[in-house]
Structure 1
């Protein structure tokens, strides 16, 4: 399929001179640009039952989190969410709109995690923080207004990678139990020569050069890219993992690795639902500025998947 006409317009409106991930980019400057863009957008916050900013203890110090509670009476199951941004960009504010929407559409207490970023904190810092956050949320579910039964992990892009890796680590490192994983155009490998990378090398929001730069920022050593906690597609054994929903975008360099990971899960006997969004590009799920109708379809898809796993509020 061709690009969705609205997406085509949005991509054409991007200033080609604007700072972007790639060779020579400054992570600090890119973060500042994103914060300013979000400030300029000035979106009114979507209503939820309550929002609380707090911290939890992590392996490298306190980890900021933001907790969203639905308007309806609970307790509700937990959804721990990890933002995207190539492990380099993003924070609680960049996914505030996403988490508010998921809180109400899915009827879950959403815990958004501000994990440590690269290049200041190299692999495996982000995944260590993600694991710590899930374990803390499971223990403190009642205090958060939720319940640990039915806990799910979710994330987009690099956050999808962290959700994937957290599911692997809790399987191998003693819990807690995760009932479901929601992986939105996840990073699962570091193969930059897949057909989707070659077809969508430039001009589709996320670029091949940008992803190579993100990996360079994230890793302390090139050989770390082969570690299953960095490239979960290279995990030898995927059995025993929780049911997964994998969402991909047709015109996304990461499309093939996300869909291959879904195939690998299915081959390992894990219940999987794979949904490709035709005409979409990387970022359609989490980009509040675009507010595409497919974004809401994706949120409803997440809610339906969580209902189908039998883990939504009775």
Structure 2
């Protein structure tokens, strides 16, 4: 199985993607780059600009509850449940480990729940730079532990379980898989990883080719990394850069599904990880979406590719877990 290589045409925004980019440029004119603001201000801006993607929410049962972390703080959780669901997807939101929340990703999470026919659990983990690595990852571990320990608010989630995440959330999901493996904790049955960040190598083909966006840029990613893990040596940990995991660690991971956006500085992260997995004899499915930018699954109100990606992810969940 070969890893698809984007053509020049794949790197040109689709007509609808370009319409969205033009609209965003007009709506966000003068707002500035949130990664150049003090973190609380950038975070507030990211929350505000993401509200446009979270209207007309798919209907389903929603339950909110909290989990007490071992460190003494409370993790707020939201369980979204379509009818007749019994499986569970723990979804970790992206945002450069520094921005975004359950609220910014609610429509995407609900759409995944509908397409997978599964409960989807989202939560607000601690964010950098106030809480750099490993704070957010430890919160993910706390939520996973609550799931496997039979938290009372998750009693209806008796079927297969998967981890999912987009961008930095995909990084945290894959890091959590490696942590679970290392600590010999109960493991998920599968993982769904969307346009993730898996290494701190800023010289890849996509980091150089798509360094100026549109959307996510190389400079923004470098600032996110500086907030999350400042030291170059610390970035070599597989729990920070999962591409640094050993072959044995990667072989032992559960079945995974990957996707990537063609117009994305992070595209090569997924390509390089999938190539490595294929070299180890694994056949984890991977889809490349041409003509779209990083974060495109947030845009399901306006972008057909976002709805297609949610449907494909839901189908992959059912196939990988046999549910």
TM-score (norm 2): 0.89
When residues 294 and 66 of structure 1 are mapped into structure 2, their CA distance, relative to the original with a 3 A threshold, is: same
- Structure 2's unaligned 5+ residue stretches are 1-8
Match of 1:20 in 2: 33
When residues 239 and 35 of structure 1 are mapped into structure 2, their CA distance, relative to the original with a 3 A threshold, is: same
- In the TM superposition, 1:77-92 aligns within 5 A as 77-92=87-102
Alpha-carbon separation, structure 2, partners of 1:159 and 1:40: 20
When residues 141 and 62 of structure 1 are mapped into structure 2, their CA distance, relative to the original with a 3 A threshold, is: closer
Do the aligned residues in 2 keep the contact of 1:168 with 1:241 (CA within 8 Å)?
yes
Alpha-carbon separation, structure 1, partners of 2:101 and 2:318: 28
Q: For 1:187, which of 156, 179, 197 is the aligned residue?
A: 197
When residues 214 and 205 of structure 1 are mapped into structure 2, their CA distance, relative to the original with a 3 A threshold, is: same
Q: Does 1:212 align with 2:225?
A: no
Deviation at 1:37, TM superposition (A): 2.6
Match of 2:123 in 1: 113
**SS of alignment partner, residue 33 of structure 1:** helix
Alpha-carbon separation, structure 1, partners of 2:20 and 2:177: 34
- In the TM superposition, 1:167-186 aligns within 5 A as 167-186=177-196
Runs of 4 or more, structure 1, over 6 Å off, are none
Match of 1:34 in 2: 46
Q: Does 1:236 align with 2:249?
A: no
Do the aligned residues in 1 keep the contact of 2:54 with 2:106 (CA within 8 Å)?
no
Deviation at 1:41, TM superposition (A): 6.2
Alpha-carbon separation, structure 1, partners of 2:68 and 2:96: 23
Alpha-carbon separation, structure 2, partners of 1:282 and 1:41: 14
Deviation at 1:287, TM superposition (A): 3.6
Match of 2:259 in 1: 247
| Structure (1 or 2) with the greater helix fraction | 2
Alpha-carbon separation, structure 1, partners of 2:189 and 2:283: 11
**SS of alignment partner, residue 178 of structure 2:** helix
- In the TM superposition, 1:265-304 aligns within 5 A as 265-287=277-299, 291-304=302-315
Stretch moving more, 210-219 or 4-13: 4-13
Stretch moving more, 133-142 or 165-174: 133-142
Stretch moving more, 139-148 or 110-119: 139-148
Q: For 1:67, which of 61, 79, 82 is the aligned residue?
A: 79
Deviation at 1:164, TM superposition (A): 0.7
**SS of alignment partner, residue 285 of structure 1:** helix
Deviation at 1:42, TM superposition (A): 6.6
Deviation at 1:150, TM superposition (A): 1.7
**SS of alignment partner, residue 222 of structure 1:** coil
Q: Does 1:55 align with 2:66?
A: yes
TM-score (norm 1): 0.92
Q: Does 1:46 align with 2:58?
A: yes
- Structure 1's unaligned 5+ residue stretches are none
Deviation at 1:39, TM superposition (A): 4.4
Alpha-carbon separation, structure 1, partners of 2:321 and 2:52: 40
Match of 2:162 in 1: 152
Deviation at 1:226, TM superposition (A): 1.1
